[in-house]
Amino acid sequence: MSLQAELVRLWLRWAMKRSNHPNVTIPERRRRMARFERRVPRPPGWIEMSERPLGGIPALRVRSLASQPVRQILFLHGGGYVTGGPALYRHILWRFAAGAEASVAAIDYRLAPEHPFPAALDDAVAAWRGLLAEGADPRRCAAAAPRTAWPTRSDRREDEAAALLLELMDGTLATA
Domain membership flag for residue 19: no
CA 136 to chain centre: 18
Q: What is the pLDDT of residue 20?
A: 65
Domain membership flag for residue 32: no
Q: Could you read off the pLDDT of 3-18 as tens digits, one per residue? A: 877 787 777 677 666 6
Q: What is the pLDDT of residue 118?
A: 84
**Euclidean distance between CA atoms 145 and 160, whole angstroms:** 6
Per the structure, the count of domains in the chain is 1
Q: What is the pLDDT of residue 72?
A: 96
The whole-number mean pLDDT for each consecutive block of 10 residues of the chain, a chain of 176 residues, reads: 75 67 85 86 94 98 94 90 90 94 96 91 92 91 70 50 65 49
Sheet (strand 47-51) strand order: 47-51, 59-64, 103-107, 72-76, 141-144
Domain membership flag for residue 10: no
Q: What is the pLDDT of residue 134?
A: 94
**Euclidean distance between CA atoms 108 and 67, whole angstroms:** 22
Which residues, in sequence order, are bridge partners of residue 57?
Answer: 54
Which value, in Å, is the radius of gyration of the alpha carbons in the chain? 16
Domain that holds residue 60: 45-170
Domain membership flag for residue 39: no
The CATH number of the domain holding residue 163 is 3.40.50.1820
* Angle at the Cα of 94 from the Cα atoms of 9 and 147, rounded to 5 degrees: 50
Domain membership flag for residue 29: no
**Euclidean distance between CA atoms 104 and 49, whole angstroms:** 10
